[in-house]
Chain A
């Protein structure tokens, strides 16, 4: 990925686990065909993304499993978002439908254990809509900024994001 989006590069400079803004961080799982392409395009257009977001490249949002989302939350992210193709336009036919249902499932899981379900959200966009991607990231960042930091129980392996 030669043209990695500017925001993720900026996030890397501040060091993992030390997000620049108010200690929060959002992990965005992006589908290679649409959302990551949109992120690339927005970076090429020098649109700035909130420095809290980290992009994770996925081959398709259908690859995202509840374990990705939950372990991201458990290991330091305050919010996770899944960004994929428009409904019906998945390059692998129905990967984004699977992702939509998995995200809905994780939201219900979070709700049942008392965590705000807004911490996990799904967005869809096409590759030609960088503004929509930027808007989705900003929306997610705004929502997470309004929530208190996610508290984690002390498990030795997670000291990183918990402090």
Chain B
């Protein structure tokens, strides 16, 4: 995993953060998939490759999208004609770029919060690490 200087700085600041184990370091990233517009900025900005555009699309992202948004309009149209709940993930053809689900890998995430800062839809929340004590306790043990 390529680690940027920024990532290393974050790791050095956070108790329990080492280059070997990066799980649970820094902020806690909470993604609100229903707000996501699929622009992929989090994937472009992510220093560790934790967020990536996937090859599939979760139809529930249309159905749960807020009314008035573009995805919400698609969801409204779909809701009127649908016979049953979506079967699951839909494969996305190569040229459809925006209607994709962002795959987020918590194992790779540094918790730096770059994705949350760059998100135009405010779909990502970076919560400050709430339990700094816990990793520190693990370290002592």
**What residues make up the interface of A, taking CB atoms closer than 8 Å to B?**
66-67, 70-71, 73-75, 97-98, 100-102, 104-105, 108-115, 150-153, 155, 158
Contact check, B81 vs A113: say whether CB atoms are below 8 A apart: yes
Asked if A98 meets B80 with Cβ closer than 8 Å, knowing A71-B73, A112-B59, the reply is no
Mark B38-70 against chain A: 1 for CB-CB distance below 8 A, else 0.
Answer: 000000000000000000010100100000001
Asked if B2 is an interface residue, CB under 8 A from chain A, the answer is no
* Sample of 8 more A-B contacts, CB < 8 Å, known A67-B70, A71-B73: A70-B74, A73-B77, A98-B95, A108-B90, A109-B59, A109-B90, A112-B88, A114-B84
Neighbouring B residues of A108 by C-beta, 8 Å: 90-91
Give min CB distance, A147 to chain B, whole Å.
Answer: 13
- Pick the residue among A101, A113, A158 that contacts B78 (CB under 8 A): A113
> Min CB distance, B53 to chain A, in Å?
14
CB pair B95 A97 closer than 8 Å: yes
B residues with a Cβ closer than 8 A to A are 57, 59, 62, 70, 73-74, 76-88, 90-96, 99
> Within the assembled complex, what's the spacing in Å between the Cα atoms of A74 and B74?
10
**Which of B76, B81, B90, B96 is within 8 Å of A115, CB to CB?**
B81
User: Nearest CB to that of B80 among chain A residues?
Assistant: A74
Which residues from A are CB-within-8-Å of B57? 105
Is B59 within 8 A of A158, CB to CB?
A: no
Bound Cα distance from A158 to B88, whole angstroms? 27
A70 to B80, CA, bound (A): 10
| Nearest-Cβ distance from residue A110 to partner chain B, whole angstroms | 8
Given A74-B77, A114-B83, check contact A104 B93 (CB 8 Å): yes
B139 → A minimal CB distance (Å): 46
Chain B residues, Cβ within 8 Å of A155: 76, 79-80
Q: Is the CB of A102 within 8 A of B80?
A: no
Nearest chain A CB to B36's CB is how many angstroms away? 16
Q: Are A67 and B73 in contact (CB under 8 A)?
A: yes
Which B residues touch A67, using CB under 8 A?
Answer: 70, 73-74, 77
Taking CB as reference atom, which chain A residue is nearest B62? A109
Which chain A residue shows the least CB distance to B71?
A67
Residues of B within 8 A of A104 (CB): 93
Nearest chain A CB to B79 CB, angstrom units: 7
